[in-house]
Amino acid sequence: MNIYFVSLGCPRNLVDTETMLGQVLEAGHRVCADLSAADCVVVNTCAFVRPAIDESIDTILEMGRWKEHNQGRRLIVTGCLPQRYGQSLVESLPEVDVFIGTGAFDQIDRFVAVSDMKEKRVFLPPVEKTSRSARELPRLQTTAPHTAYLKIAEGCSSHCTYCIIPKLRGRQRSRPMKAILSEAEWLVHSGAKELILVAQNTTAYGQDLPGEGRIHTLLDRLAQIPGLIWIRILYGHPDFVSAPLIASMTTHPNVCPYLDIPFQHASERILKRMGRPCDPAYNLALIKRLRDKIPGVALRTTFITGFPGETDTDFETLVTFVEEARFDHMGVFMYSDDTDLPSNKLPGHVDDPVKQTRFDYLMERQARISRENNRRYVGKTVRVLVEEPAPKNGSVVGGRMATQAPEIDGMVFIEGQSAPAAGTFVNVCISQAHDYDLTGYIP
pLDDT of residue 118: 61
- The closest alpha carbon to 151, from 81, 210, 105, 205, belongs to 205
Confidence of residue 307 (pLDDT cuts 50, 70, 90): very high
Contact of 272 with 281, CB cutoff 8 Å: no
Give pLDDT, residue 134: 47
Q: Are 266 and 286 in contact (CB under 8 A)?
A: no
pLDDT at 225 over 50: yes
The whole-number pLDDT of residue 394 equals 62
**Quick one: pLDDT at residue 75?**
94
Quote the pLDDT of residue 104.
87
pLDDT attached to residue 107: 87
Q: State yes or no: pLDDT of 337 exceeds 50.
A: yes
Give the rounded distance of the alpha carbon of 372 from its chain centre: 26
pLDDT at 113: 80
pLDDT at 224 over 80: yes
- Integer angstrom CA distances of residue 89 from 73, 143, 375: 20, 31, 50
Strand order in the sheet with 329-334: 147-151, 194-198, 230-233, 255-260, 298-305, 329-334
- Under the banding of pLDDT at 50, 70 and 90, the label for residue 19 is very high
Element (H, E) at 334: strand 329-334
pLDDT of residue 60: 97
**CA-closest candidate to residue 144, choices 209, 190, 95, 92:** 190
- pLDDT score at 132: 47
End-to-end CA distance of the chain: give it in Å, rounded. Answer: 51
Percentage of residues in the chain with pLDDT exceeding 90? 83
Q: How far apart are CA 195 and CA 192, in angstroms?
A: 7
- Domains of the chain by start residue, with CATH: 2-123 (3.40.50.12160), 134-375 (3.80.30.20), 378-441 (2.40.50.140)
Residue 195, classed as helix, strand or coil, is strand
The pLDDT of residue 114 is 73
pLDDT over threshold 50, residue 131: no
Residue-wise pLDDT for 258-306, tens only, equals 999 999 999 999 999 999 987 889 999 999 999 999 999 999 999 999 9
Report pTM: 0.94
> What does the alpha-carbon distance between residue 437 and residue 408 come to, in Å, rounded to a whole number?
12
Q: Is the pLDDT of residue 212 over 90?
A: no
- From 346, 320, 327, 321, select the one nearest 335 (Cα to Cα): 346
- State pLDDT tens for residues 30-89: 999 999 999 999 999 999 999 999 999 999 999 999 998 888 899 999 999 999 999 999
- Among the residue ranges 115-129, 180-194, 217-231, the one predicted with the least confidence is 115-129
Average pLDDT, the chain: 92
DSSP string, 340-394: TSGGGGSS-PPPHHHHHHHHHHHHHHHHHHHHHHHGGGTT-EEEEEEEEE-TT-T
Report whether pLDDT(117) > 80. Answer: no
pLDDT at res. 195:
98
